Amino acid sequence: MRDVAIIGASQTKFGELWDVSFRQLITEAGLGAIDDSNVEGADLDAMYVGNMTAGLFIQQEHIAALIADHTGLNPIPCARIEAACASGSLALRQGIMAVASGYHDIVISAGVEKMTDVVDATPAIATASDQEWEAQQGATFPSLYAMIAKRHMYEHGTTREQLAKFSVINHKNAAKNPKAQFPFEITVDQVLNSSIVADPLTLLDCSPVTDGAAAIILCPAEDAKKYTDTPIYVKASTQASDTITLHDRKDITTIGSTKVAAKKAYEMANLTTKDIDTVEVHDCFSINGILAIEDLGFVEKGQGGIAVEEGITENGGEIPVNPSGGLKARGHPLGATGIAQAAEIVWQLRGDAGKRQVEGAEIGMTHNIGGTGGTAAVHILSR
């Protein structure tokens, strides 16, 4: 197997982009990554695109062919990858495996979602849960994560203020990210006093409905310096599965797929949590950010809230979390999220993250899950 490097990265502005279409978003991201990598479109061997629900959001399936067409990359083989909110990371993983195996040499992995063109995104998002046992019984993702939050508070003493602080830190980081959906700061009181969505979660505990796209260019590590002076190397790419329903789990305050994928990633990279300089975690709700830092091994189970309260996860803390602003404040265009996380780590490791730069970052991690953790993907990247 060959070592793999990232030689280009791009992300569109995230937000409610009413005047930009699905095809325009993916074209902007793809061409931006090609330009950043110094390759030509004709050099690309394949494309893998993460997308969760184009069929429901914009009534368009067969998007792989559409994307190849409208990015001007025909006749390149293009495949759509779907794994709910983890679609982007799995598209990245497919690209990494294609290059590592030697089947392809230069690959683009991308993600895109156009979510704001529907009246209510909730039914589409709910398809990432178990339809028979959860969605059709009225359970939404806010309610599922609210149950997790309630249980975590009961078992581990996590406070409402600690949950709110996670959102506050995300917004603090996003205020320095010009491509974030919500580039402004908020306070703990604002989180606590915002509208209740599903007790104990309020509006400012929840990631938004977002349009956006992102793309990454991959090549064999041995060839990376032909294209860029600052290649970023893939040290680990792992994936794991868990039950799609909460009621089938022994402990709903632990995302088992995250723990398994993280363990495999550390082993693959021959690294530990102490080696990770910054991490982008899947914080679709504030409670999931706290679960993530626990299940990835940065703190003990039940200590995530305390870690956030003490500033350990802030830029300048022991483990800076979500320098981009995370899903909460950078935005969460489902299929694009995993790619956007990887792009942020690439910029951090290059030293190109501007005012949100994590000083001295050499090794970074991404963590992306689908639904409530039925799928999890973890990547470790190195300068």
What is the separation, in whole angstroms, between the first and last Cα of the chain?
20
Q: Are residues 239 and 375 in contact, defined by beta-carbon separation less than 8 angstroms?
A: yes
- Please write down the HEC assignment for all residues of the chain: CCCEEEEEEEECCCECCCCCCHHHHHHHHHHHHHHHHCCCHHHCCEEEEECCCHHHHCCCCCHHHHHHHHCCCCCCCEEEECECECHHHHHHHHHHHHHHHCCCCCEEEEEEECCCCCCCCHHHHHHHCCCCCCHHHCCCHHHHHHHHHHHHHHHHCCCHHHHHHHHHHHHHHHCCCCCCCCCCCCCHHHHHHCCEEECCEEHHHECCCCEEEEEEEEEEHHHHHHCCCCCEEEEEEEEEECCCCCCCCCCCCCCHHHHHHHHHHHHHHCCCHHHCCEEECCCCEHHHHHHHHHHCCCCCCCCHHHHHHCCCCCCCCCCCECCCCHHHHCCCCHHHHHHHHHHHHHHHHHCCCHHHCCCCCCEEEEEEEECCCCEEEEEEEEC
Spot the catalytic one: 78, 85, 206, 284.
85
Alpha carbon distances (Å) from 152 to 155, 163, 252: 5, 11, 8
Please indicate whether residue 332 is annotated as part of the active site: yes
Considering the candidates 104, 152, 171, 332, report the single residue annotated as catalytic.
332
Q: Are 372 and 257 in contact (CB under 8 A)?
A: no
Euclidean distance between CA atoms 329 and 170, whole angstroms: 6
**Tokens read off for 200:** 């104990």
Q: What are residue 79's phi and psi, to 5 degrees? A: -125, 135
Catalytic residues: 85, 332
